[in-house]
Amino acid sequence: MFTEKDAAAGVTYPQGFQACGVRAGLKKSGKLDMAMIASDVRCSAAGTFTQNAVAAAPVWVSKDILADGHAQAVIVNSGCANACTGEQGMKDARRMAAVTAEKLGCSADDVVVASTGVIGALLDMEKIENGIEMCRQALYYDGGAAASRAILTTDTVTKSAAAEAEIGGKTVRFGVIAKGSGMIRPNMATMLCFITTDAAIAPELLNEALHTAVSYSFNMISVDGDMSTNDMCVCLANGMAGNAEITEKGADYDTFYEVLLHLCQEMAKKIAADGEGATKFLTIHVTGTKTFADAKQVGMSVARSPLAKTAFFGEDPNWGRVVAAVGYSEAPMVPKKTSVAFGGIPVYEKGLPVPFDEEAMKKIMKAHDIVIDIHMGLGDEEATVWTCDFSYDYVKINGEYHT
């Protein structure tokens, strides 16, 4: 069991974590564009990363940093992805870690580096280094909200949460901030996410818990089917809650994982709901498959269908587009065993359309949150995928993003 706490506190809700967000001048808009998260002590740490072959320099650097299962700080910039920047980009990412470590008095091998923004541009390292010094001066134990604002790009809202649970007789706190709105696709969903906790947990178990939680949260969302070059989800656990270190699976591990999964799913849903130009938040619940993988495949096929997504934007109950996406998903399907419902109203059963009350359906389609239930009739497994609609604004935002 766990209790949700003040979401705005985010990564500074757990003991021993400071954070901040500053204006380093990387964004033309003049908004906050650099963030820092720092623990008072060295942490167990784990991360998951994009599977894009052209992963950005900070991804490669942070993978190396987390290889030993430890870290103490995170430095993040928005406005420039530092992707497709060659050896200079790698040098700049390593420099970000080194300068941050110098300012904080820790090892460069314990500083995770993250970037988000336009691909193909080099970082302005003078502004970056000035920004790191600004971050050092701005760090404070209530800085989670500022950090959550500083990592945004096309997001329309900040994304943060906090919770606590009893583990090993101690109150353990968790906090999270995330960003993500476009270029959202699973296999590390396209985003940045930073999770902090004052739990004591062995690095290998933290790594397993994070990877499993990501599989059932961030890897279950899609906005546009595009996979970013910069995705990462990093978790730092500093042990300051004073619980006996979790070194094996059992009740304490289960509680830890329950909270971690909840926070990851909350962030995943917020990212999907804040998809670029989105007007609808769509939950696709697939049941009756032989395997979880089959259920996920069906859900993702619908979530990535431009025709299905535009139909929901237009508030058109065009169930045929959903059924077609199920059919080409390449997951096992028997039409006569398959059923589909929008907002609890059946629209397709046993290979045929189902007459429905048009007025009742209009209310469903006008709502912001819509549940699409798909039952395959082939087994007992299930999966839930989250996505959004495609609107005119999605094209406008992305047509003008670079310029």
Ramachandran category for residue 79: left, alpha or beta (phi over 0 → left; psi -120 to 50 → alpha): left
- Known catalytic residues are 190
Measure Cα distances from 24 to 17, 31, 133 in Å: 22, 9, 10
Among residues 152, 240, 183, which one has the least CA distance to residue 52? 183
Helices and strands (H and E) in the chain: how many: 11, 15
Buried-exposed string 170-201: b where 16+ CB fall within 10 A, e elsewhere: bebbbbbbbbbbbbbbbbbbbbbbbbbbbbbb
Sign for the CA dihedral angle at 144, 149, 155, 156 comes to positive
Q: Which helix (H) or strand (E) holds 306?
A: helix 306-313
Please give the backbone phi and psi of residue 334, each rounded to the nearest 5 degrees, phi first: -120, 105
SS3 label, residue 245: coil
User: Within 13 Å and on the Cβ side, how many CA atoms surround 216?
Assistant: 14
Most distant CA atoms of the chain, gap in Å:
68
Report helix angle 203-215 to 251-273, nearest 10: 40
SS3 label, residue 268: helix
Measure Cα distances from 317 to 335, 343, 346, 352, 366 in Å: 19, 11, 11, 15, 10
Q: Are 192 and 116 in contact (CB under 8 A)?
A: yes
Q: Are 331 and 324 in contact (CB under 8 A)?
A: no
| Nearest-angstrom CA–CA distance, 365 and 356 | 13
